[in-house]
């Protein structure tokens, strides 16, 4: 099939590459010439495990190409997949300007039937807006060309995006159009050879499904964070509670981790946008308002702990910080808790040296030279009063604790991701202050 991907970011590049991998002829469009130049020169603008090899293989085979030409992109694919960003608008609703611009471009340049696929996360009713934008552009040039619009929200996770796209749990398609539904079945056939993964529904339900999924996951995290804070007060250990409840199949273990708050390009904006949608229809989503509030507070939890050990005035204090990305295996810094934590430390007069295996370059775009960047976990400890852990990269799971104890001025680990066993920390002579577990010394 001939497929055009509009927007070559995390979702667009991964989707386009995986669709090329199964034999399709894919052209990826982006308006950012730097991104397209990088890709055409053999570079990969984002970090995503396994993606480099797949991009190179499919580009070399001529099945995956990159362009900034809107005309060429619209002419190429019968399927036009919109994967542009939908960042939060000033009022918290999803900014649809990129989606509508992409739709207008399709309407302006199409000369044959197109199946337009909304892959971006968009509020209920967006498919109607996309349809209207295309129809308007067609009318302006007096053209009468058939097209369909379907919703096909993406559920891939950054850090495991290729794996998720190649082996999806489910593929949600919102379609009111027989021809479009058939094409979507053909498009996704290679990704569901053993089990039917396609769930076809009406367009509005598909659009809402994506927000419901992210809101549910964010709710689990905030629920556990709130309980973690209670556990700490009560002298219980949230990690044991997590195991205790996760073993119930009705609850399960996923997304039950207490920590220093969720971040990233999706949960924060989607939780806000869903509330905004409800408000626009005269409803209040009380649970989600609490989820958001708990999360904002949780990002400051490590600061509370720093103050517990060092007092409010952090002038002259220096902290080592492990992990900048909003989660492991990605370089994405959007809404990363590390940004809030670092800003708060700096505001209180402290200095910071951070280490992240992948996200340092991306972090520099947000933080500039306000902090120091180390090139190894141990190098970050140099001259530090204590170590803060913000992202649970694998490389932090089993460090040389003896060396950590020696390097730190005071042997304190403030762990925002509950990586270590408090009993072992006590044996090592390290003061260990994690989330929902109290302090062990």
The residues of the shown chain that bind ligand NAD, judged by CB under 6 A, are 6-12, 29-32, 35, 83-86, 98, 101-102, 120-121, 154, 156, 158, 265-266
Rounded to a whole number of angstroms, the minimum distance from the CB of residue 104 to ligand NAD is 9
Distance CA 120, CA 106 (A): 16
Residue 184's nearest CA partner among 201, 204, 205, 160 is 201
Rounded to a whole number of angstroms, the minimum distance from the CB of residue 438 to ligand NAD is 34
By beta-carbon proximity to ligand NAD, the closer residue of 362 and 385 is 362
By beta-carbon proximity to ligand NAD, the closer residue of 161 and 260 is 161
DSSP string, 160-175: SHHHHHHS-S-EEEE-
296, two tokens? 């904002």
Give helix 203-234 / helix 286-298 axis angle, nearest 10°: 50
By beta-carbon proximity to ligand NAD, the closer residue of 64 and 350 is 64
By beta-carbon proximity to ligand NAD, the closer residue of 70 and 256 is 70
By beta-carbon proximity to ligand NAD, the closer residue of 45 and 246 is 45
Instruction: State the residue number with the nearest CB to ligand NAD.
Output: 9
Rounded to a whole number of angstroms, the minimum distance from the CB of residue 263 to ligand NAD is 12
Distance CA 68, CA 80 (A): 15
- Contact between 210 and 153 (Cβ < 8 Å): yes
Distance CA 406, CA 25 (A): 57
Rounded to a whole number of angstroms, the minimum distance from the CB of residue 127 to ligand NAD is 14
Q: CA angle, 440 as apex, 436 and 441 as ends, to 5°?
A: 160
Supply the residues annotated as catalytic: 266
69, two tokens? 């030409």
Rounded to a whole number of angstroms, the minimum distance from the CB of residue 35 to ligand NAD is 5
Bridge-based pairing state of the strands 25-29 and 2-6: parallel
CB neighbour class for 279 (10 Å; exposed up to 12, middle 13-18, buried from 19): middle
- Coil, helix or strand at residue 387: strand
Sign of the dihedral through C-alpha 354, 355, 361, 363: negative
Distance CA 99, CA 156 (A): 19
Rounded to a whole number of angstroms, the minimum distance from the CB of residue 156 to ligand NAD is 5
Tell me the β-bridge partners of 233: none
Distance CA 242, CA 245 (A): 5
By beta-carbon proximity to ligand NAD, the closer residue of 332 and 407 is 332
By beta-carbon proximity to ligand NAD, the closer residue of 155 and 401 is 155
Overall size of the chain counted in residues: 441
Rounded to a whole number of angstroms, the minimum distance from the CB of residue 406 to ligand NAD is 39
- Coil, helix or strand at residue 114: strand
């Amino acid at each position: 099939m001939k497929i055009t991907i509009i927007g070559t970011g995390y979702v667009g590049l991964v989707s386009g590459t995986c669709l090329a991998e199964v034999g399709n002829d894919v052209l990826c469009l982006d308006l950012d010439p730097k991104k397209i130049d990088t890709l055409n020169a053999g570079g990969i603008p984002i970090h995503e495990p396994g993606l480099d090899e797949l991009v190179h293989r499919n580009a070399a085979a001529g099945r995956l190409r990159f362009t900034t030409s809107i005309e060429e992109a619209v002419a190429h694919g019968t399927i036009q997949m919109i994967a542009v960003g939908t960042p939060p608008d000033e009022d918290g609703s999803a900014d649809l300007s990129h989606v509508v611009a992409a739709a207008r471009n399709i309407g302006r340049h199409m000369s044959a039937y197109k199946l337009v696929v909304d892959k971006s996360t968009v509020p209920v009713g967006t498919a109607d807006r996309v349809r209207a934008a295309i129809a308007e552009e067609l009318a302006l040039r007096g053209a009468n060309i058939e097209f369909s619009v379907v919703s096909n929200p993406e559920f891939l996770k950054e850090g495991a995006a290729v794996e998720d796209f190649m082996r999806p749990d489910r593929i949600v398609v919102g379609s009111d159009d027989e021809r479009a539904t058939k094409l979507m079945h053909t498009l996704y056939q290679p990704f569901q050879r053993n089990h039917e993964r396609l769930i076809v529904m009406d367009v509005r339900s598909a659009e809402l499904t994506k927000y419901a999924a992210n809101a549910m996951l964010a709710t689990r995290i905030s629920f556990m964070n709130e309980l973690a804070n209670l556990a700490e007060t009560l002298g219980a250990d949230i990690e044991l509670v997590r195991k205790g409840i996760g073993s119930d199949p009705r609850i399960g273990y996923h997304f039950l981790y207490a920590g220093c708050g969720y971040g990233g390009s999706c949960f924060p904006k989607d939780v806000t946008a869903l509330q905004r949608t409800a408000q626009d229809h005269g409803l209040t989503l009380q649970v989600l308002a609490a989820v958001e509030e708990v999360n904002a507070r949780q990002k400051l939890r490590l600061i509370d702990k720093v103050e517990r050990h060092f007092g409010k005035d952090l002038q002259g204090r220096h902290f080592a910080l492990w992990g900048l990305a909003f989660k492991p295996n990605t370089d994405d810094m959007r809404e990363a808790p590390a940004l809030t934590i670092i800003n708060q430390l700096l505001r209180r007069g402290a200095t910071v040296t951070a280490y992240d295996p992948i996200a340092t370059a991306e972090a520099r775009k947000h933080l500039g030279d306000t902090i120091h960047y180390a090139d190894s976990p141990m190098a970050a400890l140099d001259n530090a009063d204590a170590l803060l852990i913000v992202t649970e990269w694998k490389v932090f799971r089993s460090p040389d604790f003896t060396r950590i104890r020696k390097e730190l001025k005071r042997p304190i680990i403030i762990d925002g991701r509950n990586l270590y066993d408090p009993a072992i920390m006590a044996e090592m002579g390290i003061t260990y202050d994690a989330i929902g577990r109290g302090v062990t010394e």
